[in-house]
Amino acid sequence: MTHSPTSVTIPVETDGEAIMKIARSIRIFESYDVECIQELWNQYAIEGEACGYFFRVARREGEVVGFACYGIRALADGAYDLYWIAVHQDHHRQRIGEALIKRVDEEIVERSGRLLIIETGGKPSFEPTRKFYLRSGCELEARIRDFYAPGDDLIIFTKHF
Ligand SMILES: CC(C)(COP(=O)(O)OP(=O)(O)OC[C@H]1O[C@@H](n2cnc3c(N)ncnc32)[C@H](O)[C@@H]1OP(=O)(O)O)[C@@H](O)C(=O)NCCC(=O)NCCS
């Protein structure tokens, strides 16, 4: 099946609603994940990129269908964190996540960054997410067992540029 092209851009203020709609559509996100995204967006909407992290949105025919949020890692030279990436639950496996992470990679390289760090969950429900990161050129760097809760590990992926 062919899909209309995806463009990745800097969001405008009114995109906040669509970003939150996407966050709420994600079945594996807990309510505190959605609240965290809302807080980051609220700060970004007020301060813009001066807040130290950057939202990007993926659009299809004008509609926001995905977003990413990354930022500069404190106390490290040229390291970035990917805080969030999400594609609306109805639009998975259409290469929208790929377009978002590609844009994030390009921007990090433009900023002379050298490292992207991605933290995610080790639960079975995050298996598709982990596959996505591996497929996107990330390496499995570390696992902290029982980090989030007993039996719920933290997985750290990295990408070196
Ligand atoms: C992870 C996520 C952003 C990927 O976005 P997406 O647009 O669905 O993924 P893409 O279509 O760009 O996938 C690119 C490749 O990644 C791999 N991949 C993506 N989803 C996969 C899945 N469910 N199962 C297996 N592999 C998968 C595949 O290799 C895929 O290429 P293919 O379809 O040609 O095989 C999306 O699934 C999502 O929003 N997940 C929930 C939120 C989340 O977990 N965010 C990260 C934690 S912050």
Give the closest residue to 101 by CA, choosing from 77, 78, 83.
83
Ligand 1 centre to CA of 97 (Å) is 6
State the pTM of this model: 0.97
Please state the φ and ψ torsions of residue 94, each to the nearest 5 degrees.
-120, 20
Contacts of 116 (CB under 8 A, 6+ apart): 70, 79, 80, 81, 82, 104, 105, 108, 138, 158, 159, 161
Pocket lining: 37 vs ligand 1, CB cutoff 6 Å: no
State the pLDDT at residue 102. Answer: 98
State the pLDDT at residue 85. Answer: 98
State the pLDDT at residue 2. Answer: 83
Ligand 1 centre to CA of 92 (Å) is 6
Is residue 91 classed as helix, strand or coil in its secondary structure?
Answer: helix
